[in-house]
Amino acid sequence: MRVEERFLQYVSYWTTSDENNTVNETVKIPSTDRQFELAKELEKELRNLGLQNVTLTEHCYVYALLPATPGYEEKKAVGFISHMDTSPDYSGKNIKPQVIPNYDGKDILLKGSGEYIKVSEFPSLKNLTGRTVITTDGTTLLGADDKAGIAEIMTAVEEIITSKQAHGDIWIGFTPDEEIGCGADLFDLHQFAADFAYTVDGDYEGEVAYENFNAASVHFSVKGINVHPGEAKNIMVNAALVACEIQSLLPPEETPAHTEGREGFFHLTDMQGNVSSASLSYIVRDHDKLSFETRLNKIRTLTIEMNQKYGAGTVTSTITNSYSNMIEIIDQHPYVVDIAKSAIRNVGLEPLSRPVRGGTDGARLSFMGLPCPNLGTGGYGFHGPYEHVSVEGMKTSVSIIREIVKIVSEM
């Protein structure tokens, strides 16, 4: 099956995850049972391809092994990982793909919404001129994040089998709930016995990423004192106003809208409140470990200052660490990046390594003992209606996966 056929099949499954589906304040994994529908399809397909150790767990993780070619059993075992869920930031139900052959390099009309994917907003579109581009109709996201990665891994495995390409052990893993930060939570490294691996979950097909944010989530709770406004002097504490003050004391230039590259930020994701109570939720990010800790200390100091001003117990803050910058681990295993860069050059591209302004399953897996940089998929504009991917980019990603396997088999 061609990679684009697989991709179009996989995006027909509604697999949006849900960070609000919790049990005892912990996200249930999988957070949505609908992710099992795609997982069952992938389990079936892997079995039909003849892979071994094919397993679909009760928590919706899919594992499989393509055993080494006879004589290659002592080669390093490499793994490839993608996630099945799509982002809850936008609808992932009833996706209606638009397939645009020989794309002309101009703005793309999304026929369902009447909006456009504009070259002025997505300048990388110019690089896709002449390719076959796949978008949605504008009413949903596309699901290239990360069903493009799944399609590329599955197609590479099939091509390795049919071409009788020599290889060591190849492990395949598909995870739920990556988009809500839980994809690595129950990943079984005893089941997935690779020496190192790659998540296939980036954009530009010639990318190998091994730097990401240090990340934490922060939640402020504000307890107010609500009395009649006519008798409120020196008594009332308006929780909503305290929440506004907290936000005002964070640097306005340090938000996602004003930062790039390795620059960190405080990102307000939710704010609710009235006189009696209020809450604010943030994600805090920084590539530099020291700068990251400075940001978290600012949160702690701000909490103390608010309580000194308005009374003990007025403001509480909870900091939950999410993931760390994988470069700390990858620097100890540079060959993993070198292999990927060589593979990318072998297919005629110059490798691109940019700091990821987010995180991947690979970051957490690296700290769990599995060095795991991230490869590009050929998809862009993730998490919204402007998501798009090129067929040629996906084919190139398939070739890069195969080249990685080839290089490892020759080591």
Enumerate the active-site residues: 85, 178
Tell me the CB-side half-sphere exposure of residue 141, using CA atoms within 13 A.
Answer: 24
Q: Position 238: which residue type?
A: N
- Please state, as a whole number, how many other Cβ atoms lie within 10 Å of the Cβ of residue 94: 10
3-state class (DSSP) for residue 54: strand
What's the DSSP call for residue 138?
Answer: S
Q: Are 111 and 98 in contact (CB under 8 A)?
A: yes
Q: Are 31 and 11 in contact (CB under 8 A)?
A: no
Closest by Cα among 207, 158, 210 to 396: 207
3-state class (DSSP) for residue 280: strand
Q: Are 10 and 147 in contact (CB under 8 A)?
A: yes
| 8, two tokens | 């179009």
Helix 3-10 to helix 35-48 angle (10° resolution) is 150
Q: Which helix (H) or strand (E) holds 9?
A: helix 3-10
Q: Are 286 and 213 in contact (CB under 8 A)?
A: yes
Q: State the burial class of residue 38 (Cβ atoms within 10 Å of its Cβ: 0-12, 13-18, 19+).
A: buried
Q: Which helix (H) or strand (E) holds 4?
A: helix 3-10
| 179, two tokens | 């988009």
| 262, two tokens | 């390795």
How many degrees, rounded to 5, is the angle at CA 190 between CA 189 and CA 194? 60
DSSP strand pairing (315-323 vs 196-202): unpaired
DSSP strand pairing (379-380 vs 133-135): unpaired
